[in-house]
Structure formats: structure tokens, C-alpha cells
A and B are shown apart, each in its own frame.
Chain A
Amino acid sequence: MLKIEGLTKVYGDKKAVDNLDLHIQKGEIYGFIGHNGAGKTTTIKACCGILDFDQGNIYVDGINIKKDPLGCKSKIAYIPDNPDLYNFMTGIQYLNFIADIFQISKEIRKERIEKYAQMFEIQKDLASYISTYSHGMKQKLAIISALVHDPKLIIMDEPFVGLDPKASFQLKNLMKEMCLKGSSIFFSTHVLEVAEKLCDKVAIIKNGKRIVSGTMEQVKGDTSLEEVFLELEE
């Protein structure tokens, strides 16, 4: 579903991402782990088509992001770490906006908005302006807007930051549910316990380079993901 080949991104004379290869299969939850400034967000933004890169290729469902960015974007949902949403819109206006962009029919969007808004307990706030939302509520709205068009690939940057325990639990369940339906999820996180429990595969990145990747069992073996990560970071 997502194939990253030799991705390289240079800022000035610093390589933020250095010849990175990753392959996320259909129906997989793929965790992306690394220290601050390791190149996670740069990789994620390149995959979403909002950051140009210097070398390599990115394919979403077989489509090259440089050659057909719109084709790729129509299959992706992106949830950034800090959801800067349109403060001048109400929650429902924002969801309608995203649904319109993805040309979701009225009936389907109504059903999905109802379902997810109820699940994340944000239904009563949808008529309020986003400017009045807390960080967690914005995060929930960003998640609902990502799910409203039923994407094949969900790319998330630190999705659990700011979510309350119940919403966090719901999101984890949703991630599993989406993958069972055939979608793939690629997300970065610092919460290693979550990654360990949730991910089918994981990649650890350091200074822009992938230092280890594979199934969870392959990466952590008999130890914990935290121990592996700390050991590799040293």
C-alpha cells in the first residue's frame, strides 16, 4: 500500500532522511519510531505529498506520488501531530468541507459523521467553532475528517497526543478495524507500549536512517520494544 524507496531529503547540508526504504503492506499497522528530529515527520510529510524530496520514490497503492499526486492523495488520510484546523469553521463545516473535497455522498457522510462523532463523543460540539475546541477535540475532529472518506492508507503523526483515555482506546480499536477492512496505517509515535501492542510491523529511524525494521517479534525478540529502542539509540 505504501512503498518508500531510497527516500532522501536534505535541508541545507543536513540529511533529514537518508536513503530510507519502507514497505507497508495492505492491512498492516506500521509503527514508525525515532528520537526527536530523527526524520519521522519529514518522511510522513513526503508520503502525503506536502514536502518535496530530493531522491527516491514513494508509491501509494502503486501510484507514484511525484507523477500523480492527486491520485495518491485521494487514497490517503493524514493526521498531523498538531492539528491546525480551520478555526473559522465549525466542526461540521470542516467535516463537510473534507467530505466535499473527497466527493462523498450526502447519505454516506451523514452516516459516517454520526458514527464517528458519537464514538468520540464530539457530536454536541460539531456546531461550535473549532477555535473553541481543546487540543484533544481538534485531534478527534482531525481523526473523524480522516475517516469520513474511508481512506486506503492513514498516515498519522503522533495520533495519541492530547486524546483522553477513552478516545485513545477507541482510536486503537478503529485502527484495528480499518486494517481488517483492508486499509493500512502508518504512524509515528513516542509511546512505545502502544506501538508494541498495536503494530504488526515497526521501523526505528535514527538521524534519517532506518536502523531496524520488521515484524514486532523480529524487532523486539524476547525483550521489550523500549529496551530495543534505548539500546539502538545509544
Chain B
Amino acid sequence: MLKVLLKKQLLESFSFLFFDHKKGKAKSKGEKIGFGFLMVFVCLIMALAIGIYAGLMVSTFKGLKINWFYYCIMSLVSIILGVFGSVFSTYASLYLPKDNELMLSLPIPKKDLILSRLTGVYVMGFIYMALAYIPSMIIGQIGFGFTVSSFICQIVLMMTLSFLVLALSTLLGWIVALISVRLKNKSLIVVFLSLGFIGIYYYFYFKLVSGFQNLLVKVMSLAVSFKDKGYILYVLGKAADGNYVYTGILLLLSILCTIVVYALVTIGFDRLLMMNKGQKRKEYNVKSIKQSSISKTLLKKEWLRFYSSPTYMLNSGIGSVFTVLLIGVCILQKDTILELLVFLPDASMLLIVSMTIIGFVATSNMISAPSVSLEGKNVWIVQTCPVKEIDILKAKFNLHFLFTIIPLLILDGVLAWLLSFSILETLFIFVYSLLIVTFSDLDGLYLGLKFPNMEWTNETAVVKQGMAPFVALFGNWIVVVVIAGLYFLLRKSISAYVYAGIISILLLICILCLRAWIFKKGAEIFRHL
């Protein structure tokens, strides 16, 4: 029984290698080979990046004779990578996999089911951990000199750490699963967590070099501090440096942790699996019966669609997040920005630079582009309702417009204040904001109607991989770049005001053309979707 379950679990964990989940079919031989090469390439790049940092550390640590500290840091990095790499697969494969109901309905002993799923988690954690652990240990052996004791201990420690990764990943996955089944505003929380994660990622990415330099400078004091305050970390480093006793202790500890976690999972497994995935049933309230106008109710429908999907919000509304961040940066870093502006070759460029910034953040929103395809199999509802197709399209337009323009107008005000714009310049950026948002909104809708995909099973197919949002995003960015680039080339022969005026007129013409097409052809296309 266990063998069958293990086979199924591993097949499921590695199905991405030979099965295209987006298309719902097996990969071709060429795709499999190509994907295999890509995976090997990514692994090698990752190992190389870790190896470079490890090499720099070894040369410093060797002179100070604190080999253990190097091994300690690299082991910790490996554990972190292993845990964070596997925690979501833990959530999806151990606690809340899609085959839960099927598995529970079959005569499978609980321990076999848990063991097979834990094995899947273990393998994923091991792979992620090994990506950092193996290159760093090889660099250590080369840098500090090969010793049999450290080699044997490192092999044993690889097993030890992989068990620790399993235990930590299982516990973290449990927390993620518990939060997931109890969350009320799931989509909004997912959006905030994702944005937070992206923020933290970039923070560490930009701080990596300076942080690493700090580590090398303060290495001795840090090593002493580690030894005094976190003795277990010292034991970890010494073990990898060839201390058999410490290696044995850690191995026993990791096995103990795994047994405890297995026991905890076994106790709570049924409860989590049987838990009602929905929230507490809310009592229906008569007050929730409200009357609205048709346009308002269609707009509300679009908003609910947008708000319900973290994927849609994150991919299509990121421009508004950038806008808010930019407002914050303009207010908090006013002096730095003003200092940077002196590098502009021409003061008259300020207006066009502002327009370019506005253009980039405004066109990063692409709510309207996937909105037509997102109707999917529900399209019959609005098609059978006595509403004009153009009113449905207007609601899609309005959501994009309102969500983008409100923070953008605030940004315009902040930019005008920060750059001490004249009334005319301020007017230009406000007009440009209105025009570029309307233009990107309409061309998104145009593309959405030109490239509809109503047969999707996963909304990612239209939000992230759809033709309409892809062309809309990059097409609009190209427009913004061309507007800025042309001025840069022509700035000696044309004033910024005249140029901004011409651009505004051109945008207005494009808007009128797109609007006319949507009214005439777009509504007709929507009717026959």
C-alpha cells in the first residue's frame, strides 16, 4: 500500500516535468527535453550564485580560522531555502491536496497516507536544501582543505538537515493550511502578503551586497556572538567541520523532531482534513437587499470580480500600487529627488519626465484587457439580461478608469507641488493622466474583444498568459517610451508645452477611434461571444 502511495505522490510532485497543467495534456518529447535542460540550467545558476558568495566567505573565514562559522551560515541558508521552497508544496500536498476526498474514501491506513505525503514533502525540501548545501560544502572542502571527518559529517548532516527542513516545513505548512481554511478576506490578504513578499524580496535583494560586506567586516564579533548566544548554531557549524559527536547529537535531534512532527500531524490530520473549508455560515440579512441603477450594478459586478481574485488584483492592478508607492516616495524623499533633477540636461524636460512617469504607472494597470475573457462560462448571464452590450463594456471601462485615475490624480498633485509646476504645466499633467488612462483602458478593452478566450479553466490563462493583457501592457509601455524618446530627440526644435499639446491631441484622436470601434464593432463582438 505504502509503495503505491509513494509512487503516486512522487509522480504528482514531479508531474510538472512531463505534464503541462495549463494545457491539461502531456508534454511532447521536445518540450520535456527543453524543460529538463531549463531546470538543470536554473539549478546550476542558483548553485553558481551561492558558490560565488560561499567562495568569498571561505577566503575571509579561513584566515580567521573560524571554519565552523562558515559551515553554520551555509547550513542555515540551506535550511531556509529548503523550508521556504517546500512550504507551499507542503500545504498543497500534505494538508489540502485536491485528492483528499478520494483518499479518505479509500481503505488506506492513515499512517500510510501521512507517510507517503511526508515523503513527497521531504523530497521537495531535500532538493531545495541541496541546491544551497552541496555547492557550499564543496566550496568549503576546497577552501579549507579536504578532511575525511568533515566529508563524512557533511554527508550525515545533509540527511540531518533535510529532516529538520521536513519538520519545519510541515509545521509552517500546517499554519498556512489553518490560516487558509479560516481566512475570511482571503483574496485581499493574499494580495497584501504577496506584495509584502515582493517588497521583502527586493529589500533583501538590494541589501544583499551591503549586508554581505557587513558580514565580512564584522565576522569575528558575529562568530563570538553566535557561539555565546546560540550554542546550537556553534554545534551545527562544528559538526559540519568534522565533529562526530556533534553530528551524532544533531542527527538524533532531527530524528526526534521528525517523530514529534509526525505524531502531531497524525493527531491533527483528521481534524484538518475533515474541517469545513468554508467559513462559518453567515446569517442572511434582509438588509442586504438593496436597489441600484443598472450602470452601478454592472460596475459593482466588475468590482466584485476584481476583488475576488488575488491573481487579477495583483497582475492587473499593480499600477495603482506603484502610484501609491510613488506618492510616498515623492513626499518622503523630496530632497533626494530634487537633487537628482539637476542631472536633467534641460529644465523644460521636467514636464515630459513627469508625463513619462505618469504614463508608466498608469499603463501598468490592465484591468480592462482580461475583463472580457474573464466572463468565461458566465457570459450567458449578461447576454440573457435586458442590458445593452455597450453598457456591460462601459462597466468594464469604468472599473479600470476609476481604479487607475484616483491615485494618479493625487500623484499629479504631489508632482506639481514637488516640482513647483506652473498652472499650465499642472494642467498638462492632469490632462495627460486622463488621456493616457482612457487610452490604455480602451485599448485594453479593444484587445480583450479582439482576442477573447472564453474556454479557460484557470483564470491565470487569461489574466497572466492572455494575449490581450500581454499586448496591452507592452504596447502601452512602448507608446510611453516613444512619447518620451521623441521629445528627447526633438527637444531643441519644439517646446515642451507644444509637444505635450500635440501628444494630447494625438491621444484624443486615438481615444475617439477606439471608442467608436467599441461602440460599433465591440458591442457586436461581445453579443456573439
Q: Which residues of A contact B (CB under 8 A)?
A: 48-50, 52, 70-71, 73-74, 76, 78, 80, 84-89, 91-93, 96-106, 109-110, 113-114, 117, 123-129, 132
Contacts and interface: CB of A to CB of B under 8 A. Distances in A.
Contact of B284 (A73, A78, A92): A92
A100 B380 contact: no
B281 interface: yes
Interface of B: 278, 281-286, 288-294, 296-298, 300-301, 304-305, 307-309, 376-378, 380-381, 383-388, 528
A161 to B, nearest CB: 16
26 contacts: A49-B383, A52-B528, A73-B384, A73-B386, A74-B386, A84-B376, A84-B378, A86-B301, A86-B304, A86-B378, A87-B308, A88-B304, A89-B301, A100-B291, A101-B385, A102-B385, A105-B291, A106-B291, A110-B289, A114-B286, A123-B284, A126-B284, A126-B288, A127-B282, A127-B288, A129-B278
Nearest to A132: B278
B525 to A, nearest CB: 12
A92 B287 CA distance: 10
A73 B391 CA distance: 15
B305 A92 contact: no
A114 B383 CA distance: 26
Contacts, number: 102
Query: Top 5 A-B pairs ranked by shortest CB distance?
Result: A88-B308, A100-B297, A127-B282, A74-B386, A73-B386
A103 B304 contact: no
Nearest to A71: B386
Given A87-B308, A96-B290, 6 more contacts: A70-B387, A73-B384, A74-B386, A85-B381, A101-B294, A114-B286
A50 B304 contact: no
Which residue among A48, A52, A86, A106 has the maximum number of chain B CB atoms within 10 Å of its CB? A86
Contacts of A124: 281, 283-284
Contacts of A104: 291
Contacts of B304: 86, 88-89, 93
Nearest to B529: A50
A113 B294 contact: no
Contacts of B300: 97
Contacts of A73: 384-386
Nearest to B298: A101
A49 B528 CA distance: 9
Contact of B291 (A49, A98, A99): A99
Contacts of A105: 291
Nearest to A74: B386
Contacts of A126: 284, 288
Contact of B387 (A52, A101, A127, A132): A101
